[in-house]
Amino acid sequence: MKKADLEKEVDKRRTFAIISHPDAGKTTITEQLLLFGGIVREAGTVKAKKSGNFAKSDWMEIEQKRGISVTSSVMQFDYQGKRINILDTPGHEDFSEDTYRTLMAVDSAVMVIDAAKGIEPQTKKLFKICKMRGIPIFTFMNKLDRDSKDPMELIDQLENVLGIEAYPMNWPIGSGRILKGLYDRYNRRIELYKTEAKGESFIKLDDDGNIVGDSPLKDDSIYQDARSEMDLISEAGNQFSKTKIANGDQTPVFFGSALVNFGVKTFLDAYLKLSPAPGHHKTLQGNEVEPTSPEFSGFVFKIQANMNPRHRDRIAFVRICSGEFQKGMDVTLDRTQKSIRLSNVTEFMANTRENVQTAVAGDIIGLYDTGNFQIGDTIYTGKKPIAFEKLPQFTPELFMRVSAKNVMKQKSFHKGIKQLVQEGAIQLYTNYSTGQYILGAVGQLQFEVFQFRMKNEYNSDVVMEPMGHKIARWIDPDQLDEKMSSSRNILVRDQKGDPLFLFENEFAERWFKDKYPDVKLTAKL
Ligand code: G4P
């Protein structure tokens, strides 16, 4: 591809993830977005994965039982001249480190919040990762067709619970049964809710924000309330700042309802105007790789194992950071400096997995892998070595003691654990004094996948015993005294050999801090 064409292609890309708490409406809004992209799925295809009857999935048992599907991991569609990649961030029981790592591969995030509930725990966790990366975050306050919280309170939560400046792009005129529409200050119009719209969906606003022409809304007290709140925000609220949005310091806020498709197009259109095309990526060599660089590069952010014993292959998900991918190309795997031919690849087009022809920076490709790749690996073409910055480790919140069921089979047990840990499927700790293995995860699914793969790939039955510990805190080795370990905590080492304590709860952590006020404990992320 010529440089000018590559630039044009990269500029078209918008790669994002939707972050939300389960049930806020992520699936519903995803389906609406796909519809705008002209992708008509059989009704509820995205949805069906939840109930587990996702017939198109030819994937592993757990995937099928759980309804997780590779096909829904990345969804690509075209809309208004842009090529959009939505990366799925599984929630519920499917929450895992992969959910976090997916956020390393996007250029922006859409945060969907249930307007009746406000900010919920999982949103908070995912938000933190996006904030750490400094990527733009766009907020959609969903379910406006139901009675919602006071919009002022929702804005206040963004600022005070999440600590991000909020800029309402539009403002609800009522909610639930009295929902009339949206006061859209960004587009200078009122978007009428279906019960109000008789033919026309929009009413124009003049430069002062007043309704142009006659409208019964003018005398409506719900409208007047919304108007005065919007005026108040315009006067006393935050100034719209493209720079702050680009740095993730300000979030544009949109209201609407995914279920009845109200305000979703308005959101998508503004999102496309304000969201970034793929940017540069930093390397460990201290350089920045531009997306339009002619050499191909990318990194593995997720590995999905195939649980079907007859198909041992896995899929390594690669975020392309620069250049153009071509089927059959040879790349260098930075970690081993080995050359690998990328011939068996999938792209994520809508409902089907089609063989990729070309893909550019911003796109995701899935490489069939027989064990070459690890999470965080960089691949590249050209003579100049590239290694992208390491993916962060996430603090686990669930722990299990693990051992081999059959003591005679220690060898396969250790081999399996070593490889799965290396691959990034799970985290491993060892008890400081007894050497006992402890697994750490951010979601229950990781344990199930671990157990399944140990049996199927390494022929090792494992015994796992849940622990009540939930909080992992690292300690500076210089401050460590083994006597600090007590019945209220467990002292362990991580994979690098760094010491940390596992606490059962905040009470135990506080007790420790009171006892050793000079000791600094840190969480990773
Ligand atoms: P998730 O992927 O974030 O977990 O949420 P999902 O889209 O599955 O939505 C969760 C529930 O909320 C669904 O109802 C869905 O229909 C509903 N929902 C989503 N957006 C809106 C909205 O804008 N307004 C209203 N009123 N409801 C919304 P459910 O009863 O759990 O599922 P279903 O039986 O409707 O399929």
> Which CATH class, in words, describes the domain spanning 281-380?
mainly beta
DSSP reduced 3-state for 401: strand
- Tell whether ligand 1 has an atom less than 6 A from the beta carbon of residue 146: yes
Q: What b/e string do you get for 293-303 counting C-beta neighbours within 10 Å, with b at 16 or more?
A: beebbbbbbbb
Question: How many Å is the maximal CA-CA distance in the chain?
Answer: 85
Q: Which amino acid is at 82?
A: K
Q: Residue written as tokens 């075209």? A: 78
**Beta-sheet strand order (sheet of 181-184):** 170-173, 181-184, 189-192, 202-204
Q: Which atom of ligand 1 is nearest to the CA of 21?
A: 3
Residue of 23, 26, 30, 265 best suited for mutating to test ligand 1, as the one with most atoms within 8 Å of CB: 23
- What pLDDT is attached to residue 525? 64
DSSP string for residues in 333-377: ETTTTEEEEE-SEEEEETTEEEE-SEEETT-EEEEEESS---TT-
pLDDT in tens, 85-122: 999 887 776 788 888 999 999 999 999 999 999 999 99
Using CA atoms, how far residue 133 sits from 64, 245, 281, 363, in Å, is: 33, 13, 12, 19
Classify burial at 159, counting beta carbons within 10 Å of its beta carbon; exposed 0-12, middle 13-18, buried 19 or more.
middle
Give dist(CA 193, CA 144) in Å, integer.
10
Q: Taking the CB of residue 168, how many other CB atoms lie within 10 A of it?
A: 29
Put residue 266 in one of left, alpha, beta given phi > 0 → left and psi -120 to 50 → alpha: alpha
Each residue's pLDDT expressed in tens, for the chain with a length of 525 residues: 899 999 999 999 999 999 999 999 998 999 899 888 887 654 445 544 444 433 333 334 545 554 444 556 788 888 999 999 999 887 776 788 888 999 999 999 999 999 999 999 999 999 999 999 999 999 999 999 999 999 999 999 999 999 999 999 999 999 999 999 999 999 999 999 986 666 778 999 999 999 999 889 999 999 999 999 999 999 999 999 999 999 999 999 999 999 999 999 999 999 999 999 999 999 999 999 999 999 999 999 998 876 566 666 678 999 999 999 988 899 999 999 999 999 877 766 444 444 455 799 999 998 888 888 999 999 999 999 999 999 988 899 999 999 999 988 899 999 999 989 988 889 999 999 999 999 999 988 899 889 988 998 899 999 999 999 999 999 999 999 988 998 889 999 999 999 999 999 999 999 999 999 999 999 876
Residue 421: enclosing H or E segment and its boundaries? helix 410-423
**E runs forming strands in 73-147:** 74-79, 82-87, 108-114, 137-142
For the CA of 31, the closest atom of ligand 1 is 7
20 annotated ligand-binding residue: yes
Query: What pLDDT digit, counting tens, does each position of 191-228 carry?
Result: 999 866 667 789 999 999 999 998 899 999 999 999 99
Ligand 1 centroid, distance to 26 Cα (angstroms): 8
The complex scores an ipTM of: 0.97
- To test ligand 1's pocket by mutation, which of 19, 20, 28, 194 has the most ligand atoms within 8 angstroms of CB? 28
Q: What is the pLDDT of residue 356?
A: 53
Tell me which residue has tokens 């002209």: 38
Q: Quick one: which atom of ligand 1 is closest to the CA of 260?
A: 23
| Same fold: 15-274 with 398-522 | no
Structural tokens at position 504? 């059962």
Question: What pLDDT shows up at residue 40?
Answer: 61
**H or E stretch covering 332:** strand 329-333
Architecture of domain 15-274: 3-Layer(aba) Sandwich (3.40)
pTM: predicted TM-score of the whole model, two decimal places: 0.90
Which amino acid is it at 333?
L
Q: Amino acid letter at 460?
A: S
Which two tokens mark 424?
A: 């990034």
Instruction: Give the nearest ligand 1 atom to 20 CA.
Output: 3
Return d(Cα 306, Cα 62) in angstroms, integer: 9
Angle value at C-alpha 339, between 454 and 10, nearest 5 degrees: 95
Quote the distance between the C-alpha of residue 439 and its chain's center.
23
pLDDT of 46: 53
The verdict on whether residue 424 carries a ligand-binding annotation is no
Amino acid (1-letter code) at residue 87: L
Structure tokens at 324: 């153009």
| Distance from the Cα of residue 109 to its chain's centroid | 7
d(CA 171, CA 253): 9
What is the CA(443)–ligand 1 centre distance, in A?
Answer: 22
pLDDT of 312 reads 66
Q: Which CATH architecture has domain 398-522?
A: 2-Layer Sandwich (3.30)
Q: What is d(CA 379, CA 333) in angstroms, rounded to the nearest whole number? A: 5
Enclosing H/E stretch for 448: helix 444-458
CA 24 – ligand 1 centroid, Å: 7
23 lines ligand 1 (CB under 6 A): yes
Domain ranges of the chain: 15-274, 281-380, 398-522
